[in-house]
Chains A and B, each alone.
Chain A
Amino acid sequence: MKICIACGMPMKELSDFAGEDTSKDYCVHCARPDGSMQSFEERKTNMINFIIKTQGFDEKAATKIAENNMKKLPAWKEYFNIGD
């Protein structure tokens, strides 16, 4: 089973994949309307907003959670190694 490289979601069904294309390594939630993968900043902002919307956390805490999540994901790992 594939796991989305940009958010970690398991991708089992066709509808989980970006553009329903199983050759893609990222999921439908991490794709832009044109089908390409969201950038680091886009993904981070989306993740922060999503955490605030679904759990009501403070923005600072939500940012920390989003960053912690992203640094474990194959798509974003390198963003955290630079300047660490």
Chain B
Amino acid sequence: MKSKRQLQKENTKIKIFKTAYNIYSEYGFTATTAMIAKEAGVSHGTIFVHFSSVNELLTCLIESFGDNLALEIHDLAEKNDSIKKLLETHLNILSKHENFYIHLISEKSLIPEDVQMALVNIQSNFAFHFNRIIEREIQRHAVKSIPIHMIFNTWIGLIHYYLLNKDLFSPDEPLLKRYSSELIKTFLELIKD
């Protein structure tokens, strides 16, 4: 059994993690660890007891979001589900992390290069499953025979354009909640053979 002290330590780490997620989601990646410490009610130094550096904290946050996406998409792809279901799951997870994700893609150049890799890995993982399902659909002539990377990039390009311009498309409410079904419907129509 874990000692009270160990449990306390774990709880503090979770608290820092969750607070950091909220702060970055709201203020973006220019937010400081001092802001996170203040909001979490811990001393600045405490953050670095649990995370050796800001990079480590950022990487943990992005990877945890990525793991979340990877697991749900993996389950779905194994079940041989439809493209519609894949896209719905993709947007559903992104919508749970909408603000965090918007900051991630719009401030990519602000985050350190090794942390950027965590984001690249998320897209690569999604591309892996996307590829499996689209390839199958091309083979059975349900989807146009277009190079997979162009189908993938068209999808990512479309949703990122909306997300990056949230202020224009949906300033007052979550963007994906409002546009998900239209984006999916349009994309499916475009790639249909």
Contact = CB atoms under 8 A, between A and B. Distances in A.
Interface in B126-178: 127-128, 130-131, 147-150, 152-153
Contacts of B130: 54
B78 A55 contact: no
A55 B117 contact: no
B82 interface: no
Contacts, number: 45
Interface string A7-50: 00110110110000000000000000000000000000000001
A55 B152 contact: yes
Given A54-B127, A55-B127, A10 B71 contact: yes
Determine the interface band of chain B, counting residues with CB < 8 A from chain A.
20 to 34
Given A10-B70, A10-B74, A13-B78, A54 B117 contact: no
Contact of B124 (A12, A13, A55, A56): A55
B131 A54 contact: yes
B55 interface: no
Contacts of B74: 9-10, 12
Those 5 A-B pairs whose CB atoms lie nearest each other, nearest first: A56-B149, A54-B127, A54-B131, A68-B117, A55-B127
Interface of B: 70-71, 74-75, 78, 117, 120-121, 123-124, 127-128, 130-131, 147-150, 152-153
Interface of A: 9-10, 12-13, 15-16, 50-56, 65, 68-69
